[in-house]
């Protein structure tokens, strides 16, 4: 495969007819007309489970005349899990814990009361479940001033991340960046929430403002794109179960 093939900005004319997933050596391969696509580094596109390989293969099957890598989130995430995560597990877990240190779900508004109530109704149960089921006790903040979280909580977040294999850790890192919340990424991984629900909880404030002021076309497109990524991530985690 040509150099830089799996970079998001790369646009290559479709060169295959069929995409499928089959068992291979050490995992399940994504095959294009019987051959596995490779990254610029020569890494073969392989997944640890058949459902995950099928998820990636579906992206390839859905391509039109040109291969749009920017829209192939599962493929790019798979290459990240294969190439970047193995040598950077500690650093990735540290970054994941950093999201928890300023987690979206811990920052409640001062006003208006309707927004505060909505945040409490949607975020409160997730925070309570995180403390009850996985021993993550977060300190809530009011307003935008930074609130430091207990070191024991952040250490626990890092430890939970490191319990995942490379593909699970890649998914957690992707989810934390997507939602602005390590808590939501962990909740999605554990099946507490669907991708759509996690996406909705990540934009409670935005949705509240949209109800008041409306939404423009650009914002609507961005919301739809992020929702698509959240739905993909739900399938990613379920395919790893």
Proportion of the chain above pLDDT 70, given as a percent? 96
| Res 11: pLDDT | 74
Nearest one of 238, 229, 194, 196 to 54, comparing CA atoms: 238
| Res 50: pLDDT | 98
Whether residue 6 is predicted with pLDDT greater than 70 in this model: the reply is no
| Res 12: pLDDT | 87
Cα–Cα–Cα angle for 191, 139, 100, nearest 5°?
50
Domain residue limits, the chain: 11-83, 89-240
CATH of 11-83, one of 3.20.20.80, 3.30.2180.10, 3.40.228.10, 1.10.10.200: 3.30.2180.10
Which CATH code is given to the segment(s) 89-240?
1.10.3580.10
Nearest one of 12, 34, 14, 10 to 24, comparing CA atoms: 34
Mean pLDDT computed over every residue of the chain: 95
Whether residue 86 is predicted with pLDDT greater than 60 in this model: the reply is yes
| Res 1: pLDDT | 34
State how far the Cα of 223 lies from the Cα of 28, in Å rounded to an integer: 32
This prediction has a pTM of: 0.94
State how far the Cα of 175 lies from the Cα of 104, in Å rounded to an integer: 13
> pLDDT tens-digit profile of 189-221?
999 999 999 999 999 999 999 999 998 999 999
| Res 4: pLDDT | 43
| Res 188: pLDDT | 98
**199 contacts 230 by C-beta, under 8 angstroms:** yes
| Res 201: pLDDT | 98
| Res 125: pLDDT | 98
| Res 8: pLDDT | 57
| Res 26: pLDDT | 86
State how far the Cα of 143 lies from the Cα of 146, in Å rounded to an integer: 9
Mean pLDDT over 105-132 rounds to 97
For residue 91 the two structure tokens come to 């650093």
State how far the Cα of 234 lies from the Cα of 220, in Å rounded to an integer: 21
Return the higher-pLDDT residue of 9 and 56: 56
| Res 3: pLDDT | 35
């Amino acid at each position: 495969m040509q150099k830089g093939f799996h970079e998001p900005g790369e646009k290559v004319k479709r060169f295959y007819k069929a995409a499928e997933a089959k068992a291979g050596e050490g995992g399940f391969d994504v095959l294009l007309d019987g051959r596995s696509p490779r990254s610029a580094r020569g890494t073969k596109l392989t997944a640890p489970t058949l459902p995950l390989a099928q998820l990636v293969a579906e992206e390839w099957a859905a391509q039109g005349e040109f291969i749009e890598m920017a829209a192939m989130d599962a493929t790019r995430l798979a290459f990240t899990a294969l190439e970047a995560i193995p040598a950077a597990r500690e650093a990735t877990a540290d970054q994941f814990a950093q999201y928890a240190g300023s987690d979206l779900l811990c920052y409640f508004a001062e006003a208006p009361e309707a927004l505060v109530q909505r945040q409490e109704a949607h975020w409160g149960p997730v925070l309570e479940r995180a403390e009850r089921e996985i021993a993550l006790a977060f300190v809530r903040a009011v307003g935008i001033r930074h609130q430091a979280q207990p070191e024991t909580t952040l250490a626990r977040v890092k430890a939970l991340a490191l319990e995942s294999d490379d593909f699970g850790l890649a998914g957690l890192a992707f989810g934390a960046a997507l939602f602005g919340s390590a808590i939501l990424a962990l909740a999605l991984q554990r099946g507490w929430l669907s991708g759509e629900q996690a996406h909705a909880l990540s934009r409670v404030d935005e949705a509240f403002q949209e109800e008041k002021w409306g939404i423009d076309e650009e914002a609507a497109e961005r919301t739809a794109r992020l929702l698509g990524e959240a739905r993909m991530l739900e399938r990613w985690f379920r395919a790893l179960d």
